[in-house]
């Protein structure tokens, strides 16, 4: 089960699992057309596949997602919490608009924390009961070295939360289930970044390039195949975290 699997990195992860012969379910929120395309590719890879529309910022929708997964697939062995949002949320703007703060804080907390914890709990405990399971959470490079950058307050705070959830579930679900994270730096810039902004970011990366979505999919598979990693992090950031100011 891959969250946010219709396009970009999530899609690559779905297709990689299919290439390994795994049946794949994924959810999408608004990318219905891309979800159908990904579904077609999964089907042509010869695995059983399912796309479920579900808004992970909504508790009911999360419950229905689990119900749907369990009734159609019966059991989930591997969960990848990939779905995310990356909007600018500068601190001063949030402070000046309390309603926006409440709304956007709750949205980010639900998407990056509540949904992964809920899915990890519901599916992870079932994996544990069955004797085997893998959970991989996609966080962000900043969580590895306690870093931060300005203007993405809610994304960063809740990705730190997701890192915490990873560590806590790693303990709770052991020894049957491993729970790890992949912490990427730049992969695919969001569509609203200008070419100049992307160029500036690339200049600050020692390897001068972002990771490909394919490399992140490899990181996920690497963690899934490991029998000795739990609470571990794969940092794939082109060396960005090397810079001391
Ligand atoms: N891209 C990067 O450079 C980068 C850098 C560091 C970390 N990461 C992390 O790597 C992962 C993949 O990155 P990405 O850029 O491919 O992610 P993305 O495009 O920002 O988001 C992936 C998917 O999340 C889904 N999603 C968003 N809000 C949702 C909601 N409320 N309910 C259900 N699904 C929701 C979207 O589905 P719909 O399209 O169907 O709405 C979207 O396709 C993310 O966890 C991201 O934070 C990415």
pLDDT digits (tens, 9 = 90+) for 216-231: 999 999 999 999 999 9
- Ligand 1 atom having least distance to the Cα of 111: 31
pLDDT for res 129: 98
Ranges of residues in the chain with a pLDDT under 50 are none
CA proximity to 237, closest of 143, 111, 137: 143
What residues does each domain of the chain span? 8-236
Ligand 1, atom 27: nearest CA belongs to which residue? 84
pLDDT for res 243: 74
Say yes or no: CB of residue 188 within 6 Å of ligand 1: yes
Ligand 1 midpoint to CA 140 (Å): 12
Ligand 1 midpoint to CA 10 (Å): 7
pLDDT for res 245: 57
Q: Are 43 and 67 in contact (CB under 8 A)?
A: no
- Classify residue 48 by its DSSP letter: -
pLDDT for res 241: 85
Say yes or no: CB of residue 5 within 6 Å of ligand 1: no
The fold of 8-236 is Rossmann fold (3.40.50)
pLDDT for res 244: 65
pLDDT for res 63: 98
Ligand 1 midpoint to CA 129 (Å): 30
Ligand 1, atom 21: nearest CA belongs to which residue? 84
pLDDT for res 202: 97
- Beta-carbon contacts of 177 under 8 Å, excluding residues fewer than 6 positions away, are 124, 127, 128, 132, 133, 134, 135
Look up the pTM and report it: 0.98
Sequential DSSP letters for 103-168: HHHHHHHIIIIIHHHHHHHHHHHHHHHHT-EEEEEE--THHHHT---TTBHHHHHHHHHHHHHHHH
For 2, 84, 222, the CA distances from 6, given in Å and listed in that order, are 9, 12, 22
Q: What is the pLDDT of residues 104-147, one digit of tens each?
A: 999 999 999 999 999 999 999 999 999 999 999 999 999 999 99
């Amino acid at each position: 089960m891959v969250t946010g699997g219709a396009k970009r990195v999530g899609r690559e992860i779905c297709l990689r699992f299919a290439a390994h012969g795994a049946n794949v379910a994924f959810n999408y929120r608004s990318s219905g057309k891309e979800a159908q395309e990904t579904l077609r590719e999964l089907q042509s890879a010869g695995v059983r596949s399912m796309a479920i529309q579900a808004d992970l910022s909504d508790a009911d929708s999360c419950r229905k997602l689990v119900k749907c997964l369990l009734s159609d697939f019966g059991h989930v062995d591997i969960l990848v919490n990939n779905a995310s949002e990356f909007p600018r949320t500068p601190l001063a703007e949030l402070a000046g608009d309390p309603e926006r703060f409440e709304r956007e804080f709750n949205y980010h907390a639900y998407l990056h924390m509540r949904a992964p914890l809920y899915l990890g709990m519901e599916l992870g405990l079932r994996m544990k009961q069955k004797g085997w399971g893998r959970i991989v959470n996609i966080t962000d490079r900043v969580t590895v070295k306690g870093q931060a950058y300005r203007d993405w307050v809610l994304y960063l705070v809740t990705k730190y939360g997701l890192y915490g959830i990873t560590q806590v579930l790693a303990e709770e679900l052991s020894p049957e289930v491993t729970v790890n994270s992949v912490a990427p730096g730049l992969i695919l810039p969001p569509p609203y970044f200008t070419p100049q902004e992307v160029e500036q970011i690339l200049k600050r990366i020692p390897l001068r390039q972002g990771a490909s979505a394919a490399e992140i999919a490899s990181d996920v598979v690497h963690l899934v195949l490991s029998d000795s990693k739990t609470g571990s992090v794969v940092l794939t950031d082109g060396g960005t975290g090397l810079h001391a100011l």
